[in-house]
Amino acid sequence: MANVSVLNLSKNFGTTTALDRVSFQFEDGKFFALLGPSGSGKTTLLRMIAGFESPDQGSIHIGGKVVDHIPVEKRDIGMVFQNYALFPNMNVQANVGFGLRVRGISGSEMKRLVAEALELVRLSGFDNRQPDQLSGGQRQRVALARAIVTKPRVLLLDEPLSALDRTLRLEMEIELKRIQRDVGITTIFVTHDQEEALTMSDQIGILNEGQLVQHGSPVDIYENPQSVFVARFLGEANLLRGQADGKNVKLEIGGTVKTLSKPAYPQVICSIRPEKISIQKEQEVHRSNGNRVAGRVNEHIFNGTSLTYLVQCGNLVVKVFVQNLSGEVIPPNSSVHLFFRPEDTLVFPDA
Amino acid sequence: MIFLKWISRIYLICILLFLYVPILVMIALSFNESQLYRIPIEWSTRWYEALASNSKLHSATLNSLTVALLSTCLSTLMGTAVALAFFRHDFRAKRLLQVMIFPPITIPWLIIGTAMLVFFFWVGIGRGLHAMILGHVALSLPYVVIVVSARLKSFDSALEDAAKSLGASYWQTTFWVTVPWLMPGIIAAALFAFAVSLDQFVISYFLAAPGFTTLPVEIYTAIRKGFTPEINAISTLVIFLSMLLLLGVSRFYRFGGRN
Ligand SMILES: Nc1ncnc2c1ncn2[C@@H]1O[C@H](COP(=O)(O)OP(=O)(O)O)[C@@H](O)[C@H]1O
Ligand SMILES: [Mg+2]
């Protein structure tokens, strides 16, 4: 186990900038998610840590030592690929034992370690299966067992769950997290799925166009996004344009709101999460503190535990999540007021 | 539509007849007692017996097999390495090199043979076994590169990445992961190379030395001196060997489409 740090990494492919001066510290034994839209440089960063790509600039440390000139096979990493990359000419045992064989471990010692790893991923007894006799989820587990059987210093995963269907993915998320906790290995997990990143990781780094735009714990990033991009990419956000008006913001859709911080630009965007908004029928309004916006219900989506309202406010549709406490539903076309706290009203410059 | 279907069937039958009738006639005549192609055929294995005591044909056959075996080993090794290099690396002039592999297929053998003969004499290699092996390697190399490259097209290079991430060196990755996966392609390529060498006449003719000929060259010489049904017999044997090789190739190599 070891911590990994990347310092000022840059990489260009021709004229595309895949990574732009990325610095980050991956702490020992923690689970990190690298989250970003497709093409944001996640794979490039991961492959660079593994040693498959060399940076144009910057350096990488594993366990406190510079590894810039150490080839992949000497970096002591474990990696799980998007399509598992199991060796098709080898059975499960040979696949999992590959890294051991390379290290000169064979015979009963190899068998013991392979059995241990297979037990960890709950595939005991699958030793003699061929990869094409396994389901997607099982292949995934074999790939994971193969990557950790050599007890590498860091585990790298590139969208390992994206090829699985939804139920299996949720199951594997839990499994992966359990295994990571059991083994205590520093893990870097690449994904474009925000839910995956939120539920699994200790720390999230968000990449956009090759830059690390924000990092922190899931709660921290979710509650305190530093930009409109992050607010919108991680979770959902209602974005309301407005103009700074002293300490307040005058919204384009009407109404003036107080924000968490004082608006520092004349043109701003306010961001409010749908679950931080409460909704009341106009006739029944009994709250007056906090921010308030008037609107009319367009439609609602009922899914048992909660309700989603789409509320027309001016020319904008605002999304509101409500817990199903009363069992009452506000019908479409009702005039409503939306309430939200100033602390939940984040303000960003309008680019 | 039905009309077209029949036309195409007849066409196919014509092609098959055109291809196989001469061969079938030759096989039939090799079992004919008469030397003068008298019909009806009288069954006899006389010409095959005659083969057994024809030491010239024996040594020519042995030479053919030696050249085929050695040149196949060399060209399979080299051709696989070339295909792997093209697959793994991007380098300047790669395209040009890829194109330059092919002339042995496109340039007439007569011209290549002449060029080789002149060149080999010029650098002092001369004619004979080693010259012929060199010539046949040059000829079969493009086939090996093509067949192995075709197999590599469906190779997932993530497998090599996976092997390296698990600590495998360049050679371990090559011999434990890539080559085993390529094996059907490599075997097909080797059979191809073997067949190319075995069937080669023009270049062998140029590079044959007095006292060192191959079977096709020996057959040609024999025909020029005067035809005997012995030639039918040896040709029949060669045909069966070639067919066997072809069966071997088709076992490992998909000819276009899926089968
Ligand atoms: N080998 C490559 N050659 C050229 N461009 C590449 C290569 N690898 C990545 N890129 C480019 O770099 C950018 C980042 O790619 P990548 O790291 O794969 O993104 P992600 O994994 O976040 O989807 C993309 O614009 C991509 O097209
Ligand atoms: Mg990617």
Residue A205 C-beta-side C-alpha neighbours within 13 Å: 25
E strands present in A114-223:
154-158, 186-191, 203-208, 211-216
Tell me how far apart the alpha carbons of residues B216 and B235 are, in angstroms, rounded to a whole number.
Answer: 9
Separation in Å, CA A186 to CA A59, A72, A116:
19, 17, 20
The verdict on A66 and A114 lying in the same domain is yes
Contact: B166, A150; criterion CB under 8 Å: yes
The verdict on A177 and A65 lying in the same domain is yes
In chain B, residues with a C-beta closer than 8 Å to the C-beta of A153 are none
The verdict on A151 and A218 lying in the same domain is yes
In chain A, residues with a C-beta closer than 8 Å to the C-beta of B164 are 52, 71-73
Q: For residue A303, give how far its alpha carbon lies from the nearest alpha carbon of chain B (Å).
A: 42
The verdict on A76 and A198 lying in the same domain is yes
pLDDT value for B255: 55
The verdict on A266 and A245 lying in the same domain is yes
Tell me how far apart the alpha carbons of residues A67 and A308 are, in angstroms, rounded to a whole number.
Answer: 50
- Mean pLDDT throughout B73-101? 90
In the chain, the amino acid numbered B202 is V
pLDDT value for A59: 94
Q: At what angle do helices B229-252 and B2-30 cross, to 10 degrees?
A: 130
Pocket test for ligand 1, best of A10, A15, A16 (most atoms within 8 A of CB): A16
Q: Which of B184, B186, B183, B162 is nearest to B173 (CA)?
A: B162
The verdict on A51 and A150 lying in the same domain is yes
Q: Which of A176, A203, A230 is the last residue of a domain?
A: A230
Task: Look up the domain containing A33 and give its range.
Answer: 4-230
Residue B127 falls inside a structural domain: yes
CATH at residue B244: 1.10.3720.10
- Asked if residue B116 has pLDDT above 70, the reply is yes
pLDDT value for B52: 79
- Mean pLDDT throughout B159-171? 96
The answer to whether the beta carbons of residues A162 and A82 sit under 8 Å apart is: yes
Separation in Å, CA B112 to CA A161, B128, B129, B135, B206:
56, 16, 17, 9, 10
When pLDDT is cut at 50, 70 and 90, the band that residue B256 belongs to is very low
| Structure ipTM | 0.85
Q: Which two tokens stand for residue A153?
A: 């210093």
Q: Which residue from B159, B165, B172 is facing A87, i.e. has the nearest CB?
A: B159
Contact: A73, B158; criterion CB under 8 Å: no
Q: Which of A144-148, B64-68, B102-106 has the lowest mean pLDDT?
A: B102-106
Residue B220 falls inside a structural domain: yes
When pLDDT is cut at 50, 70 and 90, the band that residue B254 belongs to is low
Q: For residue B26, give how far its alpha carbon lies from the nearest alpha carbon of chain A (Å).
A: 45
Nearest CA in chain A to B158: A85
The verdict on A152 and A222 lying in the same domain is yes
Question: Mean pLDDT, consecutive 10-residue segments, chain A of 351 residues?
Answer: 88 94 93 94 95 94 93 95 92 96 94 94 92 92 95 94 86 90 93 90 95 95 94 92 87 87 87 93 76 92 91 93 89 92 91 76
Residue B42 falls inside a structural domain: no
The verdict on A277 and A335 lying in the same domain is yes
Task: Look up the domain containing B176 and give its range.
Answer: 54-252
Q: Which of A200, A230, A260 is the last residue of a domain?
A: A230
When pLDDT is cut at 50, 70 and 90, the band that residue B259 belongs to is very low
The verdict on A216 and A242 lying in the same domain is no
Residue B49 falls inside a structural domain: no
Mean pLDDT for chain B?
87
Q: Which of A30, A31, A32, A57 is nearest to A42 (CA)?
A: A32
Residue B198 falls inside a structural domain: yes
The verdict on A165 and A107 lying in the same domain is yes
- Mean pLDDT throughout B105-123? 88
CATH at residue A146: 3.40.50.300
Give the number of domains in chain A.
Answer: 2
Tell me how far apart the alpha carbons of residues A317 and A296 are, in angstroms, rounded to a whole number.
Answer: 10
Q: Which of A176, A210, A230 is the last residue of a domain?
A: A230
> For ligand 2, a single-atom ion, which residues have Cβ within 5 Å?
A 43
Residue B68 falls inside a structural domain: yes
Residue B196 falls inside a structural domain: yes
Contact: A146, B165; criterion CB under 8 Å: no
Give the number of domains in chain B.
Answer: 1
Distance between Cα A43 and ligand 1 center (Å): 7
CATH at residue A315: 2.40.50.100
pLDDT value for B257: 42
